[in-house]
Amino acid sequence: MKKKILIIEDEKELISGLKLNLDFEGYDVIWALDGEEGLNKALKEAPDLILLDIMLPKRDGLEVCRELRGQNVTIPIIMLTAKGEEVDKVVGLEIGADDYITKPFSVKELLARVKAHLRREKREEKDTPSVYRFDDVEIDFIHFKVKRKEKEFDLTSLEVEILKYFVAHRGEVVTREAMLNEIWGYERYPSTRTIDNHILKLRKKLQDDPAKAKYIFSVYGEGYRFMGGL
Ligand code: CA
């Protein structure tokens, strides 16, 4: 079945350029010209991936992203940011975007990322472990949640993928490079710094005091070691 991609973007030329290329690659493309319409389509038309501009009429991209994650929409979201929107990128990742690409971008690069994110989703469908428990923590891979004591935290699709990778390699040192290859699916993107940001967010969900690592340990100059359940 064709994968459906929703483009939420107010620059019509950019949409038609993207649509042309995505059509050619065999995707089903739908689009919205403002944040409100985008949100509606994201909820009603069940796309497999969203390309989301930040500066949009009615509701901006950050709002749309936050709202979708709030409603447990876990599909990959790639933010399209303009130069100078560095702050927004960070906020975007914090509120649950999986990735971002800075305009002007090459279509080739964008297509590579779309493919990588969809491949990740597919891998998840194939071998979905359901729940992993350790101490008082429960990671629910089906519903994208971490439950701990009375608390419950939502996970983004990227966080789920990172945790799956950690669980599969628990006790081992995993390098950032290996994570980039296995989880992001391409070698040069994103910066290793981005991984560290995601880890920081995950720690906050897995433990009370994120300052002192309890399950995800940093291994200096290498990467990380996950010790949950060991
Ligand atoms: Ca715009």
Task: Tell me: do 38 and 109 sit in the same domain.
Answer: yes
DSSP category for residue 181: I
Of the residues 78, 105, 122, the one at which a domain ends? 122
Determine the average pLDDT of the residues in 21-38. Answer: 96
Q: How confident is the model at residue 189 (pLDDT cuts 50, 70, 90)?
A: low
Buried b (16+ CB within 10 A) or exposed e, 81-118: beeebeebbebbbebbbbbbbeeeeeeeebbebbbbbb
Domain count, the chain: 2
Please tell me the chain's helix, strand, coil percentages from 3-state DSSP, rounded to the nearest 5: 45, 20, 35
CATH of the domain at 158: 1.10.10.10
Distance of CA 91 to the CA centre of its chain: 13
Residue 73 is predicted with a pLDDT of 84
- What is the 109 CA–ligand 1 centroid distance (Å)? 19
- What is the 3 CA–ligand 1 centroid distance (Å)? 24
Question: What are the φ/ψ torsions at residue 181 (nearest 5 degrees)?
Answer: -70, -45
Q: Tell me the residue range of the domain where 109 lies.
A: 4-122
- What is the 208 CA–ligand 1 centroid distance (Å)? 38
- What is the 60 CA–ligand 1 centroid distance (Å)? 9
Task: Tell me: do 9 and 116 sit in the same domain.
Answer: yes
Determine the average pLDDT of the residues in 88-115. Answer: 85
- What is the 10 CA–ligand 1 centroid distance (Å)? 5
Mean pLDDT of the chain: 88
Quote the CA–CA distance of 223 and 39 in Å, as a whole number: 37
- What is the 111 CA–ligand 1 centroid distance (Å)? 20
Determine the average pLDDT of the residues in 211-230. Answer: 90
- What is the 51 CA–ligand 1 centroid distance (Å)? 12
Quote the CA–CA distance of 100 and 110 in Å, as a whole number: 10
- What is the 134 CA–ligand 1 centroid distance (Å)? 44
- What is the 33 CA–ligand 1 centroid distance (Å)? 9
Percent with pLDDT over 70 in the chain: 93
Determine the average pLDDT of the residues in 200-227. Answer: 91
Among 1-10, 180-189, 192-201, where is mean pLDDT lowest?
180-189
Determine the average pLDDT of the residues in 180-206. Answer: 80
Q: Quick one: residue 200, left, alpha or beta (phi over 0 = left, psi -120 to 50 = alpha)?
A: alpha
Those residues with Cβ within 8 angstroms of residue 183's Cβ, 6 or more apart along the chain or in another chain:
120, 158, 161, 162, 165
Task: Tell me: do 158 and 94 sit in the same domain.
Answer: no
- What is the 66 CA–ligand 1 centroid distance (Å)? 17
Q: How far is CA 12 from CA 7, 19, 43, 107, in A?
A: 11, 10, 22, 16
